[in-house]
Amino acid sequence: MFTGIIEAVGAIKAINVNAQGARLVIATNGLDMSDVKLGDSIATNGICLTVVDFNSGKGNGSYSADVSNETLQRTGFASYKVGSKVNLEKAMLASTRFGGHMVSGHVDGVSEVLAINNNGNSIEYWLSMPSDLAHYIAEKGSVTIDGTSLTVNALAENGTKGKFRLTIVPHTVKETIFADYQIGTKVNIEVDLIARYLERLLTKSEPNEQTPKSNISEAMLLKAGFIK
């Protein structure tokens, strides 16, 4: 589990493709690796990857991770190359200050940067909204872009070609790879975890012996003020 608060910006040092997918070597560029162990998770552009080898050298550390074909197909990794910058976050601790939102590191799909506009000292990014994910994205709700926890500030829906707006403050631009985004850049998107589970509870098929009946209903959520 992650918070979506980026700890460092790394870079891909090597990509070794194999029949099962690929093995990546990521330069950590200042990420504190002193407490990292084999088998730990590091979110790499929002993708939860398992550390299979690492070098915790000060300032020039790195780690290796295997990426499955499923991950290559579902995320933007298929278009990455040696030198590509990536957002990095180690798995959260129980004592971690929870500054973002609950992020699983399980990417739902790929979005595209459609427009970039200056607004005061901030930058507004309009991103495409994949049709199969649109119902999870809500104004003032949370979304994860390349591992960064962000707030959706506006929606513009037009049939299957919806889009949403993010307003990025200077600190976030400085501490993530947002400064490198251009119109057409593909980014990993993970929708809100709670929205996904609520949908499952409300739309699952009739209960059977293996699936106990849930007391959660749309009427109950409406009465409790969770939905309008």
Q: Quick one: residue 147, left, alpha or beta (phi over 0 = left, psi -120 to 50 = alpha)?
A: left
Q: Which two tokens stand for residue 192?
A: 């809100």
Higher-confidence residue of 197 and 119: namely 119
Q: What is the mean pLDDT of residues 196-212?
A: 65
What is the pLDDT confidence band of residue 158, given thresholds at 50, 70 and 90? confident
- In this prediction, residue 217 carries a pLDDT of 67
Output the pLDDT for position 88. 97
CB 183 within 8 A of CB 116: yes
DSSP string, 151-200: EEEEEE--TT--EEEEEE-HHHHHHSSGGG--TT-EEEEEE-HHHHHHHH
Confidence of residue 202 (pLDDT cuts 50, 70, 90): confident
Which helix (H) or strand (E) is 201 found in, with range?
A: helix 193-203
Could you tell me which residues come within 8 angstroms of residue 30 by beta carbon, excluding any fewer than 6 positions away? 8, 59
Q: What is the pLDDT of residue 56?
A: 80
Task: Please state the rounded mean pLDDT for residues 201-215.
Answer: 59
Residue pair 57/71 in contact (Cβ under 8 Å)? The answer is no
pLDDT of 205 above 60: no
Question: What pLDDT does residue 90 have?
Answer: 95
Going along the chain from its start, the domains and CATH numbers come out as 8-90 (2.40.30.20), 109-191 (2.40.30.20), 192-228 (no CATH)
pLDDT tens digits for 25-43? 999 998 999 899 999 999 9
Residue 225's pLDDT is 67
CB-based contacts of 70-74 (< 8 A; 24+ apart in sequence): 70/21, 71/21, 71/47, 71/107, 72/21, 72/22, 74/107, 74/108, 74/109, 74/110
Torsion angle, alpha carbons of 76, 41, 134, 203, to 10: 140
H or E stretch at 110: strand 109-119
The CA distances from residue 127 to 10, 115, 206, in Å, are: 23, 7, 37
Residue 179: exposed, middle, or buried by beta-carbon count in 10 A (0-12, 13-18, 19+)? middle
DSSP-derived letter for residue 9 is: E
Rounded Cα distance between 136 and 126, Å, is 17
Quote the pTM value. Answer: 0.85
CA distance 139 to 219: 22
193: pLDDT confidence band, cut at 50, 70 and 90?
A: confident
The 10 Å Cβ neighbour count of residue 90 is 20
